[in-house]
Amino acid sequence: GVSAPATLGVALPQVRSMCMAAARTGKLRLVDVVELNPTYDVDGRTARVAARLIHDITTALPHP
């Protein structure tokens, strides 16, 4: 979903695993989702992945 994709980027399962691990520590205070260009986002798939990651991260946060 960006104009300059990284051909050797990190695979989604690894990114999600790292995000979930960080969220579960209870130390996560900020999440920033960046680099989404709707012009290059085929079928909105990048936007859906970003939304799913945000959902997964926020639901993995420990409840006080």
pLDDT of residue 30: 92
Helices (H), 1-64: 12-24, 45-60
Question: Would 47 be classed as within a structural domain?
Answer: yes
pLDDT above 70 as % of the chain:
100
pLDDT tens per residue across span 41-55: 989 999 999 999 999
For 41, the domain range is 12-60
14 torsion bin: left (phi>0), alpha (psi -120 to 50), beta (else): alpha
Number of domains in the chain: 1
Question: Would 19 be classed as within a structural domain?
Answer: yes
pLDDT tens per residue across span 25-43: 999 999 998 888 888 898 9
d(CA 37, CA 40): 6
Question: Would 34 be classed as within a structural domain?
Answer: yes
Question: Would 22 be classed as within a structural domain?
Answer: yes
Question: Would 33 be classed as within a structural domain?
Answer: yes
pLDDT above 90 as % of the chain:
58
